[in-house]
Chains A and B, each alone.
Chain A
Amino acid sequence: MNGPHAAFDLGTLDRLSQGTSPIHQLDPRAKLLVTLAFVVAVVSLDKYAVADLLPFFLFPVLILARSGVPFRFVARKVAVVAPFAILVGVFNPLFDQAIVLRIGEFGVTGGWLSFASILLRFALTIGALLLLVATTSVPALGRAAERLGAPSVFVMQILGLYRYLFLLVGESQRTLRAYRLRAADGGRPAWRIFAQILGQLLLRAVARARRVHEAMLCRGFDGELRLMGTLRFAGRDWTFLALWLAAFIALRFLRPAEMLGALVTGGAQ
């Protein structure tokens, strides 16, 4: 209803992340590191890489399969955020017209190849990110980041934001609805009214923060948030980490696409 962001309901990812699949049960640190390694491996490929990107779909596909996250959910979200990458990448075919590949009579220019590469990169990196969030709750990710060395003040900030996100998004939606019901045209607010709505929301947010702080003081808050639960890096987390890292290195450097292609076309030397 309000821009592309409203197409995401925040609750769905949050609910998905509460699942119980084998992927959900892995240590968040293992998942975070593997996803990061995956993204780096994917974006480190040559700008014309198309075939070499395809084997990397193994990772999101297997995570998708083992976690039970619905494919359509991930695909829809990837599609919603695609426009920027498409808009920037679509100029590649215009500016890079050297033919680098011929399929029969048909010449493929470098621009089209690199554009295809951008689209594949996009699907891979965003897909992997969404799968990480759909299988790991934000508090768990925060804890993982903290244990991996992120400053605790910053982790607290993320967790605090996340805690109040749903409340304040709900409040802003209600305020906006109230505006729409009263406004003559009922459309998007003009900037002047929008500023007043924002100011109103800000006042309420600050007042809420004050109440929250008082409530925290009543419960013995001393400036340090203590997170419940401990992380344990078990054997299966090591296995997950080691196997996927090995797989990414193999996919990145051994180039299975080329090898397999040579094999099936009988061109292996």
Chain B
Amino acid sequence: MHMADALLSPEVGGAMWLATGATIAVASRKLKRDTDHRHIPLMGVVGAFVFAAQMVNFTIPGTGSSGHFAGGMLLAILLGPHAAFLSMASVLVVQGLFFADGGLLAMGANIFNMGFLPCYIVYPLLYRPLAGGRADPGRRRVAAWLGAVMALQLGALGVVLETRASGIAELPLFAFLAAMQPIHLAIGIVEGLITVAVIEFVTRAEPGMLAALPPAAAPSVPGFPKRALAGLAILAVVVGGFISWLASAHPDGLEWSIARLTGEAELSAPQDGPHGLAARIQESVAFLPDYAFPAAGTAETTAQEDSGGWIAPDAGTTVSGLLGGGLTLLIAGFAGWALRRRPSSPASPTS
């Protein structure tokens, strides 16, 4: 359930990075202050463990399909929210780089969905109140299972909302939800069972081992330590959502704001609304005297405009634009071919 750059608008991606970056900064400071340096190698190795665990697929019972482990809840229970968040974030960064899961801009959203949500929402608000003290193992089991299920549900919801807010994909909200949530419920149920079973296994096999871990269960971890942080993150998301809503009401948020700033629309100054649209389409048809095109579906587009759905073909979606784009692609390809390094040079490490 990795978010992808291709589906993300810069406003949403930036807002998610802002939230994630602030959380990384706070968690780092908190960790540096509170824990002793024993945990530095431990977090690295446990992060690598989650990474390795995610590469193994297991079968989801009754479906015949397979899923892989996410591990956010397991880490939160084992390491406490701050260390778990940083571990998850590092896993997602390296995964994003090596497996190209999502992309550079989407990394903020992915860390939020799979790191922030389990560690700072599900863990303090669901797991800890539910698990209570350490006295009742049954309650802890239920809490861990439910926590893992909820973490995945929230993560999937995050992907849906971020995609919707970005407005690149047209998939209706409810259809998208109907596709994402049940799949992640199935995976989440198994994830929860595995989370519980791993904790049981480790406690049974080596009871002393968990005590050596950072004090996830120690009383020093408060219920919800960073209310301000959560507020900031939520604010960033709301602001991001607002900006992207604002941007979607205009052809191009960036250009619109630049036009506002400079007091003039840049370049060919495409106007909003049906008139400007029709004018632009006619203009672009006039660009191509050699091609006998009908007046590019002005009626349809205008009707669409009236019905509320915003649709304004970009200046680049004219045929001449496509042609020009194809040409630039050719030029780029040729430049690359001309400037390429000799294939022998990278292959000879001794040179």
Within 8 A of B (CB), among A206-254: 206-210, 212-213, 216, 221-223, 225, 253-254
CB-defined interface of B156-187 with A at 8 Å, one 1/0 digit per residue? 00000001000111111001100000000000
CB atoms of B325 and A8 under 8 A apart: no
The CA of A128 and the CA of B96, in the complex, are separated in Å by: 12
Task: Tell me the bound Cα distance from A189 to B190 in angstroms.
Answer: 13
Bound together, the chains give a CA A130 to CA B102 distance in angstroms of: 11
Chain A residues near B86 (CB, 8 Å)? 153-154, 157
**Contact flag A88-B163 (CB < 8 Å), given A81-B100, A198-B198, A257-B324:** yes
Mask of B84-95 contacts with A, CB within 8 angstroms, 1/0: 001101110110
- Would A95 and B171 count as touching, CB distance under 8 A? yes
Question: How close is A32's CB to chain B, nearest CB, in angstroms?
Answer: 9
A118 close to B (CB within 8 Å): yes
Which range holds the interface residue count of chain B? 35 or more
Asked if A264 is at the interface (CB within 8 A of a chain B CB), the reply is yes
Q: B320: CB under 8 A from chain A?
A: yes
Question: Does A50 contact B325, Cβ atoms closer than 8 Å?
Answer: yes
Interface pair A195/B197, CB less than 8 Å apart:
yes
CB <8 Å contact, B314 and A46: yes
Which listed residue, B105, B170, B318, touches A92 by the CB 8 Å rule?
Answer: B170
Q: Taking chain B's interface residues, is the majority helix, strand, or loop, or is none over half, making it mixed?
A: helix
- Inter-chain contacts of B44 with A (CB < 8 A): 156-157, 159-161, 163-164, 209
The answer to whether the Cβ of B135 comes within 8 Å of any Cβ in the partner chain is no
Complex interface: chain B residues within 8 A of A77 (CB): 100
**B25: CB under 8 A from chain A?**
yes
Known contacts: A84-B4, A262-B320. The answer to whether A267 contacts B66 by CB under 8 A is no
| Cα distance, A192 to B197, chains bound together (Å) | 7
> Assuming A191-B193, A203-B205, A225-B40, is B169 touching A172 (CB within 8 A)?
no
Across the interface, do A118 and B251 meet the contact criterion of CB distance under 8 Å? Answer: no
Interface size class of A (residues with CB under 8 A): 35 or more
Q: Which residue of A has the minimal Cβ distance to B78?
A: A202
> 1/0 contact trace for A76-116 toward B, CB 8 Å?
01100100110011011011101111111001001101100
Footprint of B on A, CB under 8 Å? 2-6, 8, 10, 13, 19-21, 35-36, 39-40, 42-55, 57-58, 61-62, 64-68, 77-78, 81, 84-85, 88-89, 91-92, 94-96, 98-104, 107, 110-111, 113-114, 117-119, 121-122, 125-126, 128-130, 132-133, 138, 141, 150-154, 156-165, 167-169, 171-172, 176, 187-192, 194-203, 205-210, 212-213, 216, 221-223, 225, 253-267
Q: Which 7 A-B pairs have the closest CB atoms?
A: A160-B44, A261-B324, A267-B287, A199-B201, A51-B325, A195-B197, A223-B37
21 contacts between A and B (CB under 8 A): A5-B99, A20-B346, A43-B10, A45-B314, A51-B323, A55-B332, A61-B335, A78-B100, A88-B169, A92-B169, A95-B170, A96-B309, A119-B6, A156-B40, A164-B45, A190-B61, A199-B197, A205-B49, A255-B321, A261-B287, A262-B320
